[in-house]
Amino acid sequence: MDGRGATADPQLQQFIEIESQKQRFQQLVHQMTEVCWEKCMDKPGPKLDSRTEVCFVNCVERFIDTSQFILNRLEQTQKSRGSFSEAMTD
C-alpha cells in the first residue's frame, strides 16, 4: 500500500456522515414518539380528542426544546474545554 488507503474518499466520508445524521434523526423521532405516546395517549381511538392533541403538541415542543438545550450546552462545554486545552499547551 502507498498510504493513501488510510484516508477515505471524501465523497464516501460525506455519504457516511449524511447517513449517520439520518440515523440519529430517526432515533430521535422514535424516542420522541415513544415518550409522547406514553405520556399523552390514554386509550387509542379513531380520532384524537382536543386534550390529547394539545398534549402531543406540547410534548413534542418540549422534547425539541430540551434536545436543543442539551446540544447547545454540550457545544458550549466542548468550546470551553477546547479553549482550556489550548491555554494549557501554550
pTM of the model: 0.61
End-to-end CA distance of the chain: 37
More confident residue, 43 or 52: 52
The DSSP string of 48-71 is --HHHHHHHHHHHHHHHHHHHHHH
Q: What is the pLDDT of residues 9-18, one digit of tens each?
A: 888 988 998 8
Q: What is the pLDDT of residues 33-49, one digit of tens each?
A: 999 999 999 888 888 89
| 74 found inside a domain | yes
| 41 found inside a domain | no
More confident residue, 7 or 64: 64
- Confidence label for 86 from pLDDT (cuts 50, 70 and 90): low
| 56 found inside a domain | yes
| 60 found inside a domain | yes
Count up the domains in the chain and report the number. 1
| 4 found inside a domain | no
Hey, is 10 helix, strand or coil? helix
| 52 found inside a domain | yes
Per-residue pLDDT at 34: 94
Instruction: Name residues whose C-beta falls within 8 Å of residue 41's C-beta, 6 or more positions apart in sequence.
Output: 52
- Domain of 69 in residue numbering reads as 47-89
Q: Do 3 and 23 touch, CB atoms closer than 8 A?
A: no
Extract the C-alpha cell encoding 24: 440519529
